[in-house]
Structure 1
């Protein structure tokens, strides 16, 4: 009887502690002021990514594909990746594909973020180019390809995660 009551008391203390902790604890990463971000600085990045086709010999210029449609699809993908990112979504403003190089099937894009007034830690760990690039790289590895694109001669288009490059502008 004594062992049972000690065990129940122990379980009750643990449950009560966890309940109080979850009510009182505020994660600093989850707590942010939209006004602080709105008054923050812009940080822009420019990048390049290679687009592969399931037929390696096909160049996008040789297909009768509309570059506007590819540009819109890739811009939407970039916007989805960064706006839904738990780490960078609240800072993300926009993404845009700015040009294509049909000689080597690459696309150039720009990313724009608004961040709170700079702190050294934030810029070093959260808004550095390696971190921003790896969010896109991980998403590309998680996806199989870009579908719903009507490219003659190319049934599946993929983005090459190893070709990614990013510079802060």
Structure 2
């Protein structure tokens, strides 16, 4: 019996064919509009599912397939503004805001900064000019009490002669003047003893690796003499300043005639 022409309950029978690949069955319609059920067009289930899952793709000029969804995502990514850039733009807008007429906010901030720097510089300058060290304010006329020290040192690079043994000779006076200037310079430059120093004198030259005898004189105020004798103008202080000067010379010229041997330095208090 041929079933193709049989109609059951008014519904036309459809011919079903089997796919040779996977065994799935599908319906074959010889006439699209006439074979649809209930007047609805027939859709292939496989095609419908693919249309719902895959985005629309169009071929490009060179035959490649272009993904429209990926292009839309890239476009959104390019137009996205990071938070950091937005913060920088906001700060720039705030700095460029007009505070008064043509005066902008960044101008006001710069002016305040420069004003603070100028105030600091002026303050430092005024302090350096106006400030006076109390230790530098002293009346030299009140320094009336003398305090003297005697001592000797060797000048190993000099050769003793009969003329140097005579204190009134030109050679002896010239050498003595240079040594006195050297001693006066080191004590006047001392922060502790400079104000009290009065005089340095070379009293004589002696034979024996060429020894020079010297005398140092300091003056001090009467009301502070006890304290100064025990500390500032003590024998240890005056001696150490002299010896440190000999050791701390920038470039001690041991070959020079004015070289003083630090080890040979001697000092005692003159009563």
Which residue in the other structure is 1:8 paired with? 114
Which residue in the other structure is 2:155 paired with? 51
SS in 2 for 1:159: coil
Which residue in the other structure is 1:158 paired with? 259
Unaligned runs of 5+ in 1: 147-153
Matched, 1:31 2:147: no
SS in 1 for 2:132: coil
- How does the TM-score come out when normalised to structure 1? 0.68
CA contact (8 A) 2:145 2:220 kept: yes
- Structure-1 separation of matches of 2:162 and 2:132: 54
Matched, 1:106 2:211: yes
Question: Where in structure 2 are the equivalents of 1:62-77 lying within 5 Å?
Answer: 63-67=161-165, 68=167, 69=172, 70-77=175-182
Deviations 1:135-159 (A, max 9, x none): 433544346459xxxxxxx973521
Deviations 1:10-33 (A, max 9, x none): 212212321331233111232221
CA contact (8 A) 1:78 1:95 kept: yes
Deviations 1:109-163 (A, max 9, x none): 11011112326665555323343234433544346459xxxxxxx9735211232
- Structure-1 separation of matches of 2:206 and 2:145: 31
Unaligned runs of 5+ in 2: 1-105
Going from structure 1 to structure 2, the CA distance change for 1:10 and 1:125 (only over 3 Å counts) comes to farther
More helix by share: 2
Question: Where in structure 2 are the equivalents of 1:82-93 lying within 5 Å?
Answer: 82=187, 84-85=188-189, 87=191, 88-93=193-198
CA contact (8 A) 2:164 2:205 kept: no
CA contact (8 A) 2:179 2:258 kept: no
Tell me which of the two structures has the higher relative contact order, counting C-alpha pairs closer than 8 angstroms and 6 or more residues apart. Answer: 1
Which residue in the other structure is 2:268 paired with? 167
Going from structure 1 to structure 2, the CA distance change for 1:71 and 1:24 (only over 3 Å counts) comes to closer
More strand by share: 1
- How does the TM-score come out when normalised to structure 2? 0.46
CA RMSD of the aligned region, Å? 3.2
- Structure-2 separation of matches of 1:35 and 1:155: 39
Which residue in the other structure is 1:95 paired with? 200
Deviations 1:51-104 (A, max 9, x none): 1117xxxx62xx45523314444334323443x425334322222223444134
Aligned residues: 153
SS in 2 for 1:23: helix
Q: 1:136 aligned to 226, 232, 242, which one?
A: 242
CA contact (8 A) 1:145 1:159 kept: no
Query: Bigger radius of gyration, 1 or 2?
Result: 2
